[in-house]
Amino acid sequence: MIIPCIDLMGGKVVQLVQGRQEALQGDEPLVMLEKFAAFSQIQVIDLDAALGRGSNDAIVRELAARATTRVGGGVRSPARAAALVQAGAHRVIIGTAAFSAQGVNGALLAQMNAAVGRQRIILALDSKGGRIVVQGWTEATRFSAEEMLAQLEPYCSGFLCTYVDKEGMLEGTDLDWFRRLRAATSLEITAAGGITTWEEIEALAGMGVHAALGMAVYTGRLSLEKLARKD
């Protein structure tokens, strides 16, 4: 499955490099939603909420009500997860809240499961320099994605694994990393971060890994029409 991304910051659709530097802006959120209408799912990330500096909640709710979405960014409480599902989100993406200083935040994840159901939860394993990063990718933990997958499986139906080292750079991704992740879990994996070419998408599909696409779509490096036919 190919999943186009709508990342929101300050009410606008943006693409960032490694989650920090704004590289470009897309069209208005509803215009982007229309452009992505041919895809079975769309990923919506509230970057302001992820960074703890406000939110784009009204836009997120409108997008969730109009399309089949997986929504993330600042989902750090059962109430927030439940509100997104009630607004229409098909699944919610949880990153920072999944971890504590000791490892898996099992108590909170159990509450998330109770609030919305395990099948609606995707856990984000965003990695930079080999370590999981949280708080909008601004803080590194001491854990690697490979070592956390098995421990997190009871709390989710799949994983969003972002290779932050190449996010937004159009330099390709690390297929070997995704192969290792694929071997470590039987649950669904969605790859993100640096995916630039058809060859990478096909290699990921061959592993049984979905592809979440941002910069390559917004810059026209990959054709939306062709991607939609493959989805």
Question: Which residue of the set 27, 46, 57, 126 is catalytic?
Answer: 126
Q: What integer pLDDT is reported at residue 230 of this predicted model?
A: 79
pTM: 0.94
Question: Which residue of the set 7, 46, 165, 231 is catalytic?
Answer: 7
Q: In CATH, which of 3.30.300.30, 2.160.10.10, 1.20.58.2030, 3.20.20.70 is domain 2-230?
A: 3.20.20.70
pLDDT in tens, the chain (231 residues): 999 999 999 999 999 887 777 888 999 999 999 999 999 999 999 999 999 999 999 999 999 999 999 999 999 999 999 999 999 999 999 999 999 988 999 999 999 999 999 999 999 999 999 999 998 888 899 999 999 999 999 999 999 999 999 887 788 999 999 999 999 999 999 999 999 999 999 999 999 999 999 999 999 999 999 898 877
Which stretches within the chain are classed as H helix? Answer: 29-35, 47-50, 57-66, 78-87, 106-116, 145-152, 175-184, 198-207, 215-218, 224-230
The span from the CA of 159 to the CA of 213, in Å, is 15
The span from the CA of 187 to the CA of 161, in Å, is 12
Decide: helix, strand or coil at residue 39.
Answer: coil
Q: Tell me, yes or no, if 174 is annotated catalytic.
A: no
Q: What integer pLDDT is reported at residue 170 of this predicted model?
A: 82
Q: Tell me, yes or no, if 231 is annotated catalytic.
A: no
Name the token pair of 25.
Answer: 């802006």
Q: What integer pLDDT is reported at residue 138 of this predicted model?
A: 86
Q: What integer pLDDT is reported at residue 135 of this predicted model?
A: 87
Q: What integer pLDDT is reported at residue 171 of this predicted model?
A: 86
Per the CB < 8 A criterion, the answer to whether 72 and 45 are in contact is: yes
Query: Domain segments of the chain: what residues?
Result: 2-230
